[in-house]
Amino acid sequence: MAQQWKLSGSIPESKLSGKISANVMSAMRGEAVPAYFTLAHFTALTADLGNQMSSPEREDARQRLREVHDRVYPPLRTQNVDLHQWTKSVVTEYSVGAVEHGGALVVQYLRDSAQARVVERLMGREEAAASGDLAVRRHPVIEMRLTPRAFVLELIIAPDARWDQQNLAGKLTISRHKQSLFSMLRQLDNTYALGFWRGIHRSDMHLTGHHLQHPQILDEWLSTFEPGQDWFRLGTWFAPDDPLLYTDELSEAVSQHVKTLYAIYQHILWTSDNNFHDFFQRR
């Protein structure tokens, strides 16, 4: 059984000097700085997808996102973080939360394919499970995503992942499990947003880390969640001028955020040992 992760709290403040802000200003002027992502990478994603597929900036952004993955993922796997990839290319242009394909560069982490087959059979997709025709959108996903507006780390459970959405709804009917989830959410800092929207960008309708400190607000918000209709979204957003994007500390921050999201992912994820479907049916 996978190790149960605990939340690590907010990311420690950077130990770097005031040179960070100088780096940000240099990047805004188009000067070379040591960075994972520059404003040019974000700008490349705002252009028409058809014309930018092979642009140098877009391909460089893709490569840099792959480099973050390469630095973060292998150590996570050695720490019993049971997240997997289904795409050979690692970086895709499909987000589970997207209205349509394109507009972002995405790395996705989710349950392994054997577990996915079990879940899709439970959803009545026997032929698809047998043939291996599995769909990422039918499972909870932790995404690392680069969009025109932000660098994002987010847990997404789409309506098509109804088996896990129903598991969450069932678990919320039991006070101690609901309070356990609330306790994890209260540990998140104010960079996090929780909501039920669709799309690659953050909706204005969301709860922040500040709201998550108030059980009544959180309880009322989650009581409106409708499995099979809403997108369950929880993540943290870095603006293009965020100082962290201009340092080598980004990979460490990504690792910590993934582990934080993974703890909540584990709480929600349906497994034979975390099965609350009967409670969902009794609602």
Indicate which CATH number applies to the domain containing 102: 3.30.930.20
Whether 233 is covered by a domain: the verdict is: yes
Whether 151 is covered by a domain: the verdict is: yes
User: What would the pLDDT profile of 8-33 be if each residue is shown by its tens digit?
Assistant: 444 444 433 344 445 445 544 555 44
Cα–Cα distance for residue pair 221/196, rounded to 1 Å: 10
Whether 220 is covered by a domain: the verdict is: yes
Cα–Cα distance for residue pair 232/264, rounded to 1 Å: 12
Predicted local distance difference test score (pLDDT) of residue 163: 97
Cα–Cα distance for residue pair 234/23, rounded to 1 Å: 30
Predicted local distance difference test score (pLDDT) of residue 29: 52
Predicted local distance difference test score (pLDDT) of residue 47: 67
Cα–Cα distance for residue pair 249/271, rounded to 1 Å: 34
Whether 7 is covered by a domain: the verdict is: no
Whether 149 is covered by a domain: the verdict is: yes
Residues of the chain with pLDDT under 50: 1-6, 8-21, 23-24, 27-28, 32-33, 52
Q: Rounded to the nearest 5°, which phi and psi values hold at 274?
A: -135, 60
Which residues have C-beta within 8 Å of that of residue 269, sequence separation ≥ 6? Answer: 111, 140, 164, 167
Which residues have C-beta within 8 Å of that of residue 254, sequence separation ≥ 6? Answer: 68, 72, 144, 153
Predicted local distance difference test score (pLDDT) of residue 1: 41
> Residue 144's beta-bridge partner residues?
107, 153
Whether 2 is covered by a domain: the verdict is: no
Whether 6 is covered by a domain: the verdict is: no
Express the helix, strand and coil content of the chain in percent, nearest 5 each.
Answer: 45, 15, 45
Structurally, the chain folds into a number of domains equal to 1
Predicted local distance difference test score (pLDDT) of residue 54: 60
Predicted local distance difference test score (pLDDT) of residue 151: 96
235 in Cβ contact with 265 (< 8 Å): no
Domain span including residue 137: 19-281
Q: Rounded to the nearest 5°, which phi and psi values hold at 194?
A: -120, 135
Nearest to residue 109, comparing CAs of 279, 255, 212?
Answer: 255
64 in Cβ contact with 37 (< 8 Å): yes
Predicted local distance difference test score (pLDDT) of residue 85: 93
Q: Is 248 exposed, middle or buried (0-12, 13-18, 19+ CB in 10 A)?
A: exposed
Whether 47 is covered by a domain: the verdict is: yes
Predicted local distance difference test score (pLDDT) of residue 260: 97
Structure-block tokens of residue 246:
């201009």
